[in-house]
A = this chain, B = another copy of it.
Amino acid sequence: MTNPSDSNASREQFGIWLGMLARQWRAEVDRRLSPFILTEARWIILFRLSTADHDLTQKELARVAGVQGPTLVRTLDWLEEKGLIERREVPDDRRAKTVHLTERAEPALRQIQAVIQGVRAQIFADVSDEELEQCLAVFKKIGRQFDAFAGSAEDRDMVIVGQGKK
């Protein structure tokens, strides 16, 4: 009931809200994309490709899309099968492949943009630009902390390995 306990409540709820909203968001987008055979996960990849300022390797694409390599591989397999993207070998490095939108993907992307726009219009109905900016600023701060974890995770592992080794 006191103020400090309220702020604790906010902290307690935050992660749970994050998960709930993300799931509801995905569900709504998926529902509206269903006529296009696409899902949110697949659309995000196309979107990232369409807004990239240079050819992306799978590794780079995974990073900007915020997923792990194996997750991307499966999504790309599907998109490639449907003829929406293609993988090209990189001459300098035969391990790597760059990913490219096909011509077929372009019109689909435009249609889909409009659908997603529709979701956003309804979802953000009560939210001002300013509130959204503030929220996004918090997201970015939190994102940086997670990145810091990722960076230090290796160190932590090393320590454990160091201790564990005979």
Contacts and interface: CB of A to CB of B under 8 A. Distances in A.
Give how many copies assemble into the complex.
2
Interface string A1-42: 000000100111111111111111110110000000000100
A143 interface: yes
A15 B120 CA distance: 9
A44 interface: yes
Given A19-B66, A123-B145, A129-B7, A136 B25 contact: no
Nearest to A17: B139
B146 A10 contact: no
Contact of A7 (B12, B125, B133, B144): B133
B127 A20 contact: no
Main secondary structure, interface of A, reads: helix
Contacts of A17: 136, 139-140, 143
25 contacts: A7-B132, A10-B132, A14-B120, A14-B136, A17-B139, A17-B140, A20-B143, A21-B139, A23-B66, A23-B67, A24-B66, A24-B143, A25-B146, A122-B145, A123-B142, A123-B145, A123-B146, A124-B145, A125-B145, A126-B141, A127-B138, A127-B141, A131-B137, A134-B138, A135-B135
